[in-house]
Amino acid sequence: MGAGRTPGDVIRQMISGIDGACVFPSNAEADDRGVLRAYRFSEAGLPAAMQFNVVSSRRNVLRGLHAHSHYDEYYIPVSGRMFFALADARRGSPTFGRTAAFWCYPEHAVGFRVPIGIAHGVYFADDGLLCYGISAYWTGVGEFECRWDDADLRIAWPCVDPILSVRDANAGSFGRMVEKMSADTAFSPCSPSR
């Protein structure tokens, strides 16, 4: 990390290569009881979150890669070290096929947006807690997945044999996921400025 650069700056630079992905910082109020941290992604012009989910994972769990056709996601690490990977799966996007991978800890005090159509995964290096908001209610429709270790993506994961769900262990290739997404008549990747 260069002089004067924060971890948030590094993450911002990493994901800036994917159209629509962005970092949103937090504001903190601290006193002798602890810290209240506020993440105001709507002030950054991003769609509001309609639903919040909290994921608790054990050390060495990898979730993903997943992509969605109906909602953006807003990730905020709460506890534990996490490694995130993003891959643009939107045909027609100026950054189609581009990837970004980075560590994000709660101490970095940032969250980030994963737009519709961006495949994403998270590896928990420690037992961890991850909060994420989604811009539409979850219905189970428009859900896609691909192998976390797909050779075409060339993501340098910090793990060799992570714990996977059955869905993730049986996922197909990135190319096959892109085909399925393109065939989904409901899938319409939105402009990052929406």
| Cα 169 from Cα 126, distance rounded (Å) | 20
Phi then psi for residue 12, to 5 deg, are -55, -45
Residue 3 is predicted with a pLDDT of: 63
Class of domain 7-28+42-183: mainly beta
**pTM exceeding the 0.85 threshold for the entire prediction:** yes
- Specify whether the CB–CB gap between 71 and 118 falls below 8 A: no
Give every CB contact of residue 175 below 8 A, 6+ residues apart in sequence: 152
Residue 189 is predicted with a pLDDT of: 60
Residue 188 is predicted with a pLDDT of: 61
Residue 170 is predicted with a pLDDT of: 98
Block means of pLDDT (10 residues each) for the chain, length 194 residues?
71 88 85 89 78 96 96 94 97 95 90 94 98 93 96 97 98 97 71 40
Residue 6 is predicted with a pLDDT of: 78
- DSSP assignment, residue 181? H
Domain boundary assignment for the chain: 7-28+42-183
Pair of tokens at residue 86? 């993003």
